[in-house]
């Protein structure tokens, strides 16, 4: 009987051969070639345990991979049952994979993620669209540049890549050797996802492609020595926020909201992603915070009041750190006009109510020390999976 069990128990080679027929659904190469097979254990009763490394934690295709591995190994003669245990590649393994996918050429590093980087990176986030996130981003950038800081903007808003238009940056990126030179306007270097899509077509990239695009914007674009880098993120709590956290763990988050209750709640959700990603929240900016009445001196609270304070208090509670309201930007026709004309209001009308409020916030952010203090180490608990 014992010899019969031995004869029918699958060999490790047979299991590995079966795994070689499973392709990674995104990279379209056998998982055995990608270093994704962590372990194979075959019990005498024919139970096969397979350990698989996913490339990223929270991989959306984990179920597909598990199902494909199970199906392939089940076909091996003698395999009684198959158990798949998932793990996540370490940064080192991921780098090795990336290098091998590029045919041995090492990945260019993201300068802002290096331990010695002095560039402050702010991700401008909002819960929903249309709250003025891009307007705030370009005005903060233009104001800081006018104050003499070296500033860059990455427009990563796949739904509304409006940063180049608002900054008046109509140039195209150029390629020098293997570096991308970003166009600049108002003293701000800018790169946008919109510069790489034909016409003004909407971007339908998701997950890994977006991650790759962002990686290129950060690593392959020649930014030079920046004081501040601002990233205009898509609204909500999407893949790109996670990607930014992985690529630049020390990036801080700026949350833009309107005073409206409903907007504040979603903004708080968007901000609280920082808890999961271990990022710091630099503060909350309340936009569209009242409008000066055209007939009297009173402010009209078009979108209600208190949203910025509510978000800041909520995030202070969730993160356990002090999250300040950095300022309130009133509704101001000149801000919209400046955006449409490619001349941010902080430059076209610096003393207008919105211009002055934005310059004040930019002054606070720009005055913060360049340096390593408060920098997150970007460590993620290993039990995350
Ligand atoms: N304080 C303000 N006063 C007047 N108009 C404003 C103000 N803030 C933003 N706007 C206008 O509101 C519109 C939406 O702003 P913006 O594109 O900056 O929002 P957004 O949050 O980036 O949107 P999305 O994420 O959908 O791209 C624009 O036309 C902009 O000019």
Residue 358 confidence (pLDDT): 97
Residue 379 confidence (pLDDT): 39
Q: 35 and 152 share a domain?
A: no
Residue 266 and residue 249: Cα distance in Å, rounded? 23
Ligand 1 atom index nearest CA of 234: 25
Q: 42 and 128 share a domain?
A: no
Q: 60 and 136 share a domain?
A: no
Tell me what the pLDDT averaged over the chain comes to: 83
Model confidence at 106: pLDDT above 80: no
Q: For 173, phi and psi rounded to 5 degrees?
A: -65, 150
- In which band, very low, low, confident or very high, does the pLDDT at 195 lie, cut at 50, 70 and 90? confident
Q: 178 and 208 share a domain?
A: yes
* Dist. CA 130 → ligand 1 center (Å): 5
Q: Is 345 annotated as a binding residue?
A: no
* Dist. CA 129 → ligand 1 center (Å): 8
Residue 343 domain flag: yes
Q: Is 130 annotated as a binding residue?
A: yes
- Name the residue of 123, 124, 130 to mutate for ligand 1: max ligand atoms within 8 A of Cβ: 130
Taking each continuous run of H as one helix and of E as one strand, the counts in the chain are 13, 15
Total count of domains within the chain? 2
- In which band, very low, low, confident or very high, does the pLDDT at 283 lie, cut at 50, 70 and 90? very high
Residue 385 domain flag: no
* Dist. CA 273 → ligand 1 center (Å): 23
Q: 194 and 51 share a domain?
A: no
The CATH code of the domain that includes 33 is: 3.30.300.130
Q: What is the pLDDT of residues 165-182, one digit of tens each?
A: 999 998 888 776 667 888
Q: Is 128 annotated as a binding residue?
A: yes
Residue 367 and residue 143: Cα distance in Å, rounded? 12
Domain end, chosen from 101, 123, 148, is at 101
pTM, whole model, 2 decimals? Answer: 0.71
Q: Give the neighbor-by-neighbor strand order of the sheet with 47-54.
A: 37-42, 47-54, 81-88
Q: Is 304 annotated as a binding residue?
A: no
The CATH code of the domain that includes 220 is: 3.40.50.300
Q: Is 129 annotated as a binding residue?
A: yes
Q: 94 and 115 share a domain?
A: no
Lowest mean pLDDT among 102-106, 229-233, 360-364: 102-106
Atom 18, ligand 1: residue with shortest CA distance: 132
Is 284 within 8 Å of 308 (Cβ atoms)?
yes
Residue 38 domain flag: yes
Q: Is 280 annotated as a binding residue?
A: no
* Dist. CA 376 → ligand 1 center (Å): 31
Nearest to 264 by CA among 103, 366, 159, 127: 127
Write the burial class of residue 369 (CB in 10 Å: 0-12 exposed, 13-18 middle, 19+ buried): exposed
Residue 2 domain flag: no
Nearest to 282 by CA among 97, 61, 125: 125
Residue 152 confidence (pLDDT): 96
Is 281 within 8 Å of 274 (Cβ atoms)?
yes
Lowest mean pLDDT among 53-67, 90-104, 272-286: 90-104
Q: Residue 213: CB partners within 8 Å, gap ≥ 6?
A: 156, 193, 196, 205
- Name the residue of 126, 134, 230, 287 to mutate for ligand 1: max ligand atoms within 8 A of Cβ: 134
Over pLDDT 90: what percentage of the chain?
43
* Dist. CA 339 → ligand 1 center (Å): 9
Domain end, chosen from 71, 101, 131, is at 101
Q: 134 and 202 share a domain?
A: yes
Q: 130 and 81 share a domain?
A: no
* Dist. CA 134 → ligand 1 center (Å): 7
Lowest mean pLDDT among 88-97, 136-145, 186-195, 339-348: 88-97
Domain end, chosen from 50, 83, 101, is at 101
Model confidence at 377: pLDDT above 70: no
Q: What is the pLDDT of residues 53-86, one digit of tens each?
A: 998 777 678 899 999 999 999 999 999 999 999 9
Residue 382 domain flag: no
Q: 227 and 85 share a domain?
A: no
Q: How large is the ipTM?
A: 0.97
Ligand 1 neighbours by CB, cut-off 6 Å:
126, 129-135, 157, 159-160, 162, 235, 287-288, 329, 331-332, 335-336, 339, 354
Q: 20 and 163 share a domain?
A: no
Lowest mean pLDDT among 132-136, 254-258, 297-301, 310-314: 297-301
Q: Residue 98: CB partners within 8 Å, gap ≥ 6?
A: 107
Residue 155 domain flag: yes
Residue 28 structural domain: 7-101
Q: Is 384 annotated as a binding residue?
A: no
Atom 8, ligand 1: residue with shortest CA distance: 132
Q: 97 and 115 share a domain?
A: no
- Name the residue of 135, 138, 303 to mutate for ligand 1: max ligand atoms within 8 A of Cβ: 135
Rounded to whole angstroms, what are the CA distances from 157 to 154, 166, 183, 238, 273? 9, 13, 18, 11, 17
Nearest to 124 by CA among 257, 258, 225: 257
Write the burial class of residue 115 (CB in 10 Å: 0-12 exposed, 13-18 middle, 19+ buried): exposed
- In which band, very low, low, confident or very high, does the pLDDT at 208 lie, cut at 50, 70 and 90? low
Residue 64 and residue 62: Cα distance in Å, rounded? 5
- In which band, very low, low, confident or very high, does the pLDDT at 7 lie, cut at 50, 70 and 90? low
* Dist. CA 297 → ligand 1 center (Å): 24
Is 230 within 8 Å of 124 (Cβ atoms)?
yes
| Cβ atoms within 10 Å, residue 306 | 15
Residue 243 and residue 194: Cα distance in Å, rounded? 19
Q: 83 and 232 share a domain?
A: no
Residue 1 domain flag: no
Residue 384 domain flag: no
């Amino acid at each position: 009987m014992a010899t019969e069990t031995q004869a029918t128990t699958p060999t490790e080679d047979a299991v590995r051969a079966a795994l070689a027929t499973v392709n990674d659904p995104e990279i379209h190469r056998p998982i055995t070639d990608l270093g994704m097979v962590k372990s194979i254990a075959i019990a005498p009763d024919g139970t096969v345990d397979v350990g698989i490394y996913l490339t990223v934690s929270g991989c959306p295709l984990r179920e597909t991979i598990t199902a494909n591995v199970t199906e392939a190994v089940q076909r091996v003669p003698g395999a009684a049952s198959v158990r798949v245990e998932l793990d996540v590649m370490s940064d080192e393994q991921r780098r090795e994979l990336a290098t091998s996918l590029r045919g041995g050429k090492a990945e260019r590093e993201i300068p802002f993620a290096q331990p010695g980087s002095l560039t402050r990176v702010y991700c401008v986030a909002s819960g929903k669209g249309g709250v003025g996130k891009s307007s705030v981003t370009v005005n903060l950038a233009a104001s800081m540049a006018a104050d003499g800081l070296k500033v860059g903007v990455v427009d990563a808003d796949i739904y509304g890549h409006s940063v180049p238009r608002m900054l008046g940056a109509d140039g195209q990126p150029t390629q020098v050797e293997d570096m991308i030179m970003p166009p600049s306007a108002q003293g701000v270097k800018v790169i946008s996802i919109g510069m790489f899509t034909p016409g003004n077509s909407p971007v339908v990239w998701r997950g890994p492609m977006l991650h790759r695009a962002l990686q290129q914007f950060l690593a392959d674009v020649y930014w030079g020595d920046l004081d501040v880098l601002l990233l205009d993120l898509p609204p909500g709590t999407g893949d790109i926020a996670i990607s930014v956290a992985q690529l630049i763990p020390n990036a801080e988050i700026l949350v833009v909201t309107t005073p409206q209750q409903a907007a504040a709640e979603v903004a708080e959700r968007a901000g609280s992603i920082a808890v999961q990603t271990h990022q710091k929240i630099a503060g909350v900016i309340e936009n569209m915070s009242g409008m000066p009445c055209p007939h009297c001196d009173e402010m009209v609270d078009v979108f209600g009041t208190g949203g910025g304070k509510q978000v800041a208090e909520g995030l202070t509670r969730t993160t356990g750190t002090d999250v300040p309201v950095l300022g309130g930007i009133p509704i101001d026709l000149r801000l919209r006009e400046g955006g449409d004309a490619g001349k941010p209001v902080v430059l076209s009308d610096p003393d207008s109510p919105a211009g002055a409020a934005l310059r004040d916030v930019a002054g606070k952010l720009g005055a913060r020390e360049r340096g390593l203090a408060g920098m997150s180490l970007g460590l993620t608990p290993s039990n995350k999976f």
